[in-house]
Structure 1
Amino acid sequence: MTTEATGVEPGMYDIPAELYHSDPIPGGSLSSTGARKLATECPARFKHWLDNPEPHTAALEFGTAAHTVVLGNGPELVVVDADRWDTNETKAKVAAIREAGGVPLKPADYQRINDMAEALAANPEASDLLAPGSGLAEQSLFWPDGDVWRRVRIDWLRPDAIVDYKTSRSVDPQHLEKAVHEYGYHQQAEFYRDGAVELGLLPPGAAFKFIFQEKNPPYLVTVAEIDAFAREVGRQMNAGALHLYATCRATGHWPAYVEGTALIPLPAYVERQYA
């Protein structure tokens, strides 16, 4: 797909999150989240997710609010000081805040987010990575790759690294190993790095730093990078997802897990018991 075909210039844009997530590329583009879904789910499920945006959830809004406070960039945070959020009056107030592009928060959640930001600021490595003036927050990148366009939204772009902030139940490295695998963070790191390098924003091999922070006191922080083997796995999974996306777009066919009749064996560990 050429630039002329979309009317969009490849590059970095400082645009609202809503515009980024609505996918401003004519004909559509593949995001890191989409690539991770395609790599682990079937195209039919990916297409359904693409056509049916996920609704607001408390966890999603909490994460968005935490990003806003930590990165100093994001939607307006509005504290809704109500004893109950299930009354018609409060529901209407919350809906109006969301409609205006804000994030409604209970006082306790707002305080917790500010306590998290304070704890993160006390971590020397994390606070240095996110030091004011050291980078740009919430930058959107768009670039063509063969027959498709790709896009990412970077939390914090430094001249020497990409920094991504994530809240987590635990920041114990053993827990994070499972989280990286489950949520495809190794794919995300390589997908983002591809865009920054392609657009000349970072040199090849530039660092990608994750800042993981627990959501409960004492709000522990772990700064982490993905190791070489996981990075290579992420690159291969992204390549497969890009090929699948291009093929499905070209054919208009988004298949399920299996087409035709599937032959289902017993799990391998059961077969070994009877071998």
Structure 2
Amino acid sequence: MTAAGGEVEPGLYDIPAELYHSDPIPGGSLSSTGIRRLTDCPARFKYFLDNPEPYKPAYEFGTAAHTVVLGDGPELIVVDEKRWDTDETKAKVAAIRAAGNVPLKAEARQRIDDMAQALASNPEAADLLTPRSGIAEQSAFWPDHNGIWRRTRFDWLRPDGIVDYKTTRSVHPLALEKTVHEWGYHQQDDFYLTTAVELGLIPPTAFFKFIYQEKQPPYLVTVAELDATAMSIGRRLNERALHLYAAGRATGHWPAYSDSTVLISVPPWVERQYA
């Protein structure tokens, strides 16, 4: 990843997820997750920067689903034990995780295989992820015009666009509107597209499509793109977050929600009840 002198070269890299998440950029870089945390609260962003989140087994199901659907990722190892709370099984599970692999109960592995089969029966989703139509789990690094290094890890990078696979509770369009807002996926859309276009990986007219899939039977699938309004809001939020990031690095000040007393009202819908 480095040129002569040890400097990182902007570009696309096929590196392990662990190296990507450890942030290999000297001096630090900003990820899509980081920029969304900045949007919420710079102080919270700085806390997680200094105190990385502990390992969460709950993430393993999503990681395993990505591995099966995208064909790239850690080895999935079934631990076919009725109880995972015995010392013997705990040790076995810990050893699997320590080796960088994912332990799964037999039921979870079967559920993931059933999800992959359901996704393959969706014509649009299957077409987007057609083998050799793109490359999975690629990491990109790019310094913007302000000298801020950005890093992204694409689920599926095609010559004509980006595909991001997400498991979720509901793929109903109305539920997805809330999901996009709650998780900042409109910011991810802008962040990923900007990086890929600036690096010349895709043309400016390229698409960003989400494949959402439910985690419970019948494992429904919805392929979605964000409209112009959502993308515009995501871009504005990212621009503000990038400004906060630059200011925080320059001053060492990472503000919370407010530095002074805040006047709190009730939600508008409550006000209307008493109007």
- Alignment TM class, shorter chain as reference: over 0.9
Cα deviation, residue 5, structure 1: 9.1
Partner residue of 2:92?
93
Within-5 A mapping of 1:36-51: 36-40=36-40, 42-51=41-50
Residues 102-121 of structure 1 aligned to structure 2 (within 5 Å)? 102-121=101-120
Q: Deviations over 1:221-261 (max 9, x none)?
A: 000000000000000001111110111011122222222x3
Structure 2 gaps of 5+ residues are none
The two structures have a TM-score, normalised by structure 2, of: 0.94
In the TM superposition, what whole-angstrom CA distance separates every residue of 1:109-143 from its partner, at most 9, and x where no partner exists? 00100010011011110000000000000010100
Structure 2 equivalent of residue 142 of structure 1: 141
TM-score, length-scaled by structure 1: 0.94
1:70-89 equivalences under 5 Å are 70-89=69-88
| Distance in 1, Cα, partners of 2:218 & 2:267 | 43
After TM superposition, what 4+ stretches of structure 1 lie above 4 angstroms from structure 2? Answer: 3-6, 270-275
Q: CA deviation at 1:53?
A: 2.0
Distance in structure 2 (CA, Å) of the matches to 1:120 and 1:211: 9
Indicate whether 1:203 and 2:206 are aligned.
no
Aligned length: 271
2:273, 2:106 → 1: CA distance? 56
SS in 1 for 2:210: strand
**Partner residue of 1:253?**
253
Distance change >3 Å, CA 171–CA 265, structure 1 → 2: closer
Aligned residue number for residue 169 of structure 2: 169
Residue aligning to 2:8: 8
CA–CA distance in structure 1, aligned partners of residues 274 and 113 of structure 2: 57
Give me the whole-angstrom Cα distance separating, in 2, the residues matched to 1:166 and 1:5.
39
Output the CA distance in 2 between the equivalents of 1:5 and 1:151.
21
Q: Give the deviation of 1:95 after TM superposition.
A: 1.0
Residue identity in the other structure for 2:143: P
Where in structure 2 are the equivalents of 1:217-228 lying within 5 Å?
217-228=217-228
SS at match of 1:93: helix
Q: CA distance change for structure 1 residues 108 and 272 in 2, over 3 Å: closer, same or farther?
A: closer
Deviation at 1:267, TM superposition (A): 2.7
Measure the CA separation in 1 of the matches of 2:12 and 2:186.
22
Identity %: 71
Match of 1:152 in 2: 152
How far 1:6 moved relative to its partner? 7.0
Distance 1:24 1:106 in 2: 33
Whichever residue aligns with residue 48 of structure 1, its letter is Y
User: Any gaps of 5 or more consecutive residues in structure 1?
Assistant: none
Which residue of structure 1 lines up, in the alignment, with residue 262 of structure 2? 263
The CA distance in 1 between the partners of 2:262 and 2:175, in whole Å, is 35
Compared with structure 1, are the counterparts of its residues 140 and 271 closer, same or farther at alpha carbon in structure 2 (3 Å cutoff)? same
